[in-house]
Each structure stands twice: as C-alpha cells, then as structure tokens.
Amino acid sequence: MARRSKSILDEDFTENIVDIDVSREMEDSFLEYAYSVIYSRALPDARDGLKPVQRRILYMMTQMGLRPDKGHVKSARVTGEVMGKLHPHGDGAIYDAMVRLAQPFAMRVPLVDGHGNFGSLDDGPAAARYTEARLTPAALAMTASLDEDVVDFVPNYDNQLQQPDVLPAAFPNLLVNGTTGIAVGMATNMAPHNLGEVIAAARHLIDHPDATLEALMAWVPGPDLPGGGTIVGLSGIRDAYAKGRGSFKTRAKVSLEQISARKKGLVVTELPYMVGPEKVIEKIKDAVTAKKLTGISDVVDLTDRKNGMRLVIELKNGFNPNAVLAQLYKYTPMEDSFGINNVALVEGQPRTMGLRELLQVYVDHRIDVVRRRTAFRLKKKQDRLHLVEGLLVAILDIDEVIQIIRSSEQTAAARDRLMTIYDLTDVQANHILELRLRQLTKYSQIELEAERDELKQAIEELEAILASESKLRATVSEELAAMAEQFATERRTTLLTKEDGKPLKGTAMPSAAEAKPTKGAGSSLPLEISNDPCFAVLSASGQIARTADRTPLAGGGARVKHDGLRSLIPATARGEVGAVTSAGRLIRLQAVDLPVLERTAGFPQLTQGVPVKDFVSLNKGEAVVALVPMTEVFALGTAGGVVKRVSPEYPLNRDEFEAVTLKDGDEVIGAAPARDEDALVFVTRGAQLLRFAASTVRPQGRLGRGIAGIKLAADDAAIFFGVAHDDDPEAVVVTIATGSDVLPGTEAGTAKVTPFADYPAKGRATAGVRAHRFLKGEDRLSLAFAGHGPARASSAAGVARALPTEHGRRDGSGVPLAQRVDLLAGSLSEATPSSSDETPAVGEAATGTSGTQRPPLAAPEQDSIPFDDAGVLRSED
C-alpha cells in the first residue's frame, strides 16, 4: 500500500483566496503586452529608424569589431552574441532581422554586408550557420561616435550590460530605408527614399526651419524603391507626406524586344517593390489558365547575377503588345499598390507623421548628437590641455621636480609638495609623478608646446559651436553633405504624375476603330493587331520586314544602307506572303511575324529588318530570291532558261512546298507577280536579252516543270529573270560586263544603262537580242537587271555605288565603273548619290546574306502600288 505524502504546509498556515476581476486583469495585462510590442519590438524609433532588434544587431556587430575592412564572421555567431547579451528572444527572429538589413532589394542602403545566400524576392535565406556577415560603411556611419556620450545608454534585460537607447544615425535612415511592422492595434509601412534627396531636404530644413511641405517635396518628389520600377500618380504620395497616410501605384519597367526572328516579347527588367519574378510567373499562368490573359505564349525567367532582372513574356503573333501589357498590369503583380503609413516612436510614443515631421525629428536628434559630441570633445581637450600645462611647468624646472620627488618618502608627500611649490592641481601632480624619464627631453617640451597651441585652437572652435546655434546647425548640415557625397546614388524609380498612355517603344497605339475589339475586360486598347494593308519587303541584302501601312514611300534624303529592294509585295498585317528559294521551294510566311519598319523622312529604314535566313530554314547553297503574294499568279525563271507561271493553288496544311520541279543542276534566279499583259525578261551570261509576253506562258500547278523560256547557247546560262511592263517609260536595262579570267570581286568592269523600250519583243523559246557589246578582256556579263528605273547599285555591304547616268545604245558597250558593283535592285526613291560618289547614282542595291552574287528583281508594279515617272511610289488616286 502506498504511503500518504506528508503535507509541505506549515501547521499554522491560513488559506487566503483573493477575488480578482478577470476583465480588469485581462485589460491590464493586454495593455502591458501591447505597450511592450509597440515600444520594444514592432515600431522603429523616429530618430534612427531602427527597431530594437535592428539597433542591437548593429551595436553588437560594432562591439565585435566587424568593420568593412575586416573579414566576415558566421551569422550564427552574431545572432548568438545579440541573443545572449542584448535580445533575449529566439535566434530566428534575430537572424531574420539581420538578413533584411543585408538584402539590397529590401534596403535602399544596406547596413549589413552579407556573404552567402541571404535570400531573394522569391526564396528565403540559408541558415545562419552557412552565411557570414559584417557591417557596411553606411552602418559605421549609423554607429559613429557612440563612445563620445552622444546618446543615452540603458541597461540590458538582466542589468549586467549597457546598450544605446538610440544610435547617432549620421543619415536619415528611417526615410532612406523605410520599414514595416505590425504592432497591437497599429502598424507601420514606410517606403524607401533616395539618400541624396532626403539629405538635401534635411539640409534645407536646417537652413529654413519654417520650410513648407512644397519646398521639401522639391527635394523629395517621391519614394525611390531599391528595385526601381515606375510610380504612377503622385497625389497619394503628397497625402502621405502631408498627413502620414497615403498610397501609390508601382509598375514594372517593361520594354518590347524582338526575341526571335518571328516572335516579340515583353521584357521586364524592374518589378514593383518586394515583388519577385516567380510570383509574377505564377500569377500569369493562373490568369492564362482562367482565360483572363490572352496573347501570351510563354514566360521565361532569365534573371541572373550578371544581367540582373530579366523576365521575358513571349507574345503570340497578331496581338497588340500595349493591350497585353495593360492586361498584365491588371491581373498580375506587375502593378502593385503601396500603402504608406508613417508610424514611428517619438519620445516613446507612437505618432503618425508627415515628411516635415519626420525630417524635423531627425534634425533635432542630429543636432542633439552633435551638441553632446562637441561638449564631450571639448571636455576631453580641456582635460588634456590641463595636463599639458602641468607638464610644461614641470619640464621648465625639471631638476627641482626630480629632487622633490627623490627627497619625498611617500608618493602622497611628493604630490603635496609639487602642488604647493608649483601651484598644481591634484590631477597635474599625479600625471607628473607617472612620467617616464624619456619624456623629460627638450624635444618633448617642443611637442608639448605645439600640442598646447593646437588644443587651445580646437577648444576655441568647439566652444564657438556650442555658443552659437547657427554654427551648430551648420556643422550638422556639413556632416550630412559629407554623407550624401559618400553614399548617395542615382534615383532608380521613375515618377509619373499620371498614366501617360504612351505605347511601348517600337509599337504604335492603334485606335479602337482601326483594330479588333478586346476579348474580355482588362484593357480599353484593342487586343489583336488589325488586318491593315502593308508592304512585305525583301532587300537585296537579305533583310525582310513589313511596313506599318501602305502609305506611298516618299523619296529624297541621303541613301541608307540596305535600301535596295529585291521584292515589294502588297500584303495585310495578318495575311500571308511566300518566299521563293533558289531550290524552287515556296515557303509560307505570316506577315504579322515580320518586324515593322519605322520611317525616316517618309522612307522605311530597311536596316531594321531581320535576315530572311532567320525566318526560313535553308539548305547549303540555297537562297531566298524573291517574295511573292500567295493569292496571285507569279512567274519564275531558272538559270537553265525555264519559265513557269505558278497558279495559286497551294495545300492549306503545309507551310512549304515545291513551286517548280527543277532539273539537276538548275536553280531559280528570279520570281515576281506576272499578269497576262506584263512582259517577262531573261538576260543571259552571254549578254542575250529576251522579252516576251507573259500571256504566252499558261499558269501551271505547283508540280509543273515549266516550259522553255529562252534558248541558250551551249556554254551560256541565264543570270536574270524578271517582270517588266511594256507601257512603263521609265523601265531600263542595266548590264555589267567582266572577263572570265578576272578574279571575282577584283575588277569593277563596265556598265551600260539602256531604255527597256529599245529591246524588241521576241517569241518565247528564242535566243532574243544582243544586250551588251564586250570590249577587250570582256567575255560575259556578271550582273544584269531589267525593270522599272532608275535602278540602284551598291557594294556587297549595301553602300551606294555610281552607275552611268547616260543611256547607251542597245547593242553598245559599257563604260568603266569607278567602283565594283555587287548587285542591282529596284529603287523606291529618287536617285541620290552617296557621300562617296562624285556622280549621281542611277541605281542602288545590296548583296544577299547567303554570300552568293545573284541579280535581284525589280519592285513589281501593280495596280495597287503604281509608280510615278520619278521612280517614287504614288498613291492609288
């Protein structure tokens, strides 16, 4: 049986039960807890902008000597020191606070230099045992002069150590780095600002104590977030600066880029404050799944340490980038709202303050710090001067002083005799007794006299600062200016007074009447690109693009590189065009995939195009020779003299197919739209030209082999095929001759320009007529062109080259060229010589990107794109 335990109560114990009102006890306890959270945990002090745990971290790291010029130490060591000596809470809370002080995306001016994984916008930091830390130079400025009695010290949690009640704070940390915290019944949320701007406003307030809010906002127009971005609308910011509460919208910084030959994308380089790319990607995917977002095909995060933030949002073809961006702003964190709530502790009490009040509290604190520091330094220098004056008295009569000391039996007696004989104080006498013999030299006397003079001058300056409020405030202002010079950086966040509605660079903002209405809510902009008429353009140098509309292309002005045209095809923005290759393939292209050309002085800049090889897959030795419409009959010619008119009957389920079946060794040399009333033209290497009616060639299906076009000699081959117009008075024929023994590219050769009307029409499958008489050393044509003039000539790099300005005889010889001409092409502007030409250029072209020298085609003349007699596109009316 278990023994009954003996009662521990005394025999005379009297039970006393006290009745307590539970509601009052809960109220009192909760108020005590709430005050503890507000004052000791959640809210920052308005003077240094730090919460208690942050202040203790910086102070303890200063005491540990973790300066920027020292090595990093384990973060666990720092958290352990702070927890054991100053902050009796969990190490997790301490480490989290230290991590935030080290994160450049959270702090505008980081105060901890972290080494290792301190987290990102999407991921947390590594454990404290894996990371290392030390103070930054800015943190040293926050803790500077702590040993000069500039702030009050209070006991730690167990009354064994002392800690600063506030840090000296050489710059306005609360405004510069902002803060966030949730207390009991209140919260704070303050945005970071630019250090240079805040210091400029503080200095203005020092110089003008009655400065208005408008005057201060001239220096601090708005927050400057660590990650940059754009702030839209400043009215909420002014409310926050005036009353302490307000809000503003932040947006990502986005640009439109050509991410591939066929695709455009929105590239995000800056996101709103504390928004990470993974969060944006997740929201985009959710919105696309819910069909709130349309026009997006992929999202790729290319962010890295070298290039920084880079989030690529790939767009589907045919969608307006500005409308898609508006949807992204609505449905994803790429647009976010920041609510300002400027709550901080002032003399231990939470207060909601505007910009002026926050600056005033800091300025008052800094004035008090400088005053206390000046008084401390003055006392130190006065004490030192007192000792130096006593030493000088002793050194002047050093022998007698030594005798007095040696003859005294005790130290107290020697001290009393020195004080009596030389009228010294107790401090001076004790200091003399502690002197070393090596300090009693003549040199020491000189040093002491120089030190005395310096001390007197320094004391005068310090006394002047303490005696004059204006000098004290000027000293504070000068020190703030030094902080700005050392730590200020350029503003990162762009401020917009309101949404400007500007389109992304490289796009136009279409009106609602011109484009397809938006599918679903989320944007007032047209979502899909309208099916506007345009031109598809292929330059002779192999650049492909389209124009924004079908406005006539005006001429004039200096020539630009690559503006020689191989093909100019009417199309629509959401239509199709075909690319004909030298291997006889026809490749279907979507016009909306082509980059849009901008105009300069009315002429499109073909240098903005994309190499056609980026759009189509070409085999070795294959090149794109022309663009053709997919809904019209076009004619093509081969080097073997075969001609074919292709009927637009193509399979709908294939993007590429054969336009002609070629014989072995043959290749397509040109293609263009051809109506029955047009003339087809062949020019051979042997200088034979044949023009015949297109109506003599019956359109065939895509598998047809074509029919005989020109009769060739045994060793001859066609080098040009094109379409001309019998009623075109400006049509010309350009031929350039060279010799077989001449290395390609080493001889300019001779060139001849002849009116196309001089060449008579002949029957199909005949040899044609002579087009060029060879001179000595010439036996073949290297280049030829027939079509609407004036034609253009250029080098392989696309630079304009001169051609003869006078028309020659049909069967005559050419004139020597001053410079080598690589290719010919039709022109869209008047003949304008390049800066290197001495004579006006009659034509211009460029070389294909495939590296093969192949004569390009003239820009086709059609009812929808007629030319005027100056060689410039004219309007249909």
C-alpha torsion 224→226→230→236, nearest 10: -50
d(CA 170, CA 155): 24
CB 862 within 8 A of CB 568: no
Quick check: 251 and 227 in contact, CB under 8 A?
Answer: no
- Number of Cβ within a 10 Å radius of residue 819: 15
**Cα radius of gyration (the chain):** 43
User: What is the DSSP-derived secondary structure letter of residue 867?
Assistant: B
Tokens at 1, concatenated? 């049986």
Query: What residue type is 395 in one-letter code?
Result: I
Q: What distance in Å separates the CA atoms of residue 458 and residue 454, rounded to the nearest whole number? A: 6
**AA letter at 374:** T
Give the 3-state secondary structure of residue 838: coil
- 8 A C-beta contact, residue 858 and residue 787: yes
Question: Contact at 8 Å (CB) between 591 and 573?
Answer: yes
- Which residue, among 335, 310, 311, 337, has the nearest Cα to 325 in the 3D structure? 335
Structure tokens of 564? 């020689």
Residues known to be catalytic: 130
Question: Is the distance from CB of 535 to CB of 569 less than 8 angstroms?
Answer: yes
| Three-state SS sequence of 181-234 | EECCCCEEEECCCCHHHHHHHHHHHHHCCCCCHHHHHCCCCCCCCCCCCEEECC
Helix H or strand E segment including 29: helix 22-37
φ, ψ (nearest 5 deg) of residue 516: -70, 140
- Residue linked to tokens 């009417």: 570
Torsion, Cα 790 794 799 804, to 10 degrees, reads -60
- Please choose, from the candidates 560, 567, 575, 569, the residue with its C-alpha nearest in 3D space to the C-alpha of residue 542: 567
- What whole-number distance in Å separates Cα of residue 150 and Cα of residue 131? 33
Q: 100 with 108: CB under 8 angstroms?
A: no
**Would the CA dihedral through 462, 464, 466, 472 be positive or negative?**
negative
Separation between Cα atoms, residue 688 and residue 825, nearest integer Å: 20
Q: Quick one: tokens of 430?
A: 């004790």
Three-class SS string for 64-89? CCCCCCCCCEEHHHHHHHHHHHCCCC
Sheet order of strands, 585-590 included? 624-629, 576-581, 585-590, 656-658
Q: Classify the phi-psi angles of 769: left when phi > 0, otherwise alpha if psi is within -120 to 50, otherwise beta.
A: beta
Three-state DSSP class for residue 378: helix
The CB density around residue 809, as the number of other CB atoms within 10 Å, is: 10
Query: For residues 861 and 724, what is the distance between their CA atoms, to the nearest angstrom?
Result: 8
Burial readout 285-316 (b: 16 or more C-beta within 10 A, e: otherwise): eebbeeebbbbbeebebebeeeeebebbbbbe
Q: Using N-to-C axis directions, what is the helix angle for 355-396 and 426-433, rounded to 10°?
A: 60
Locate 606 and state its tokens: 């073909």
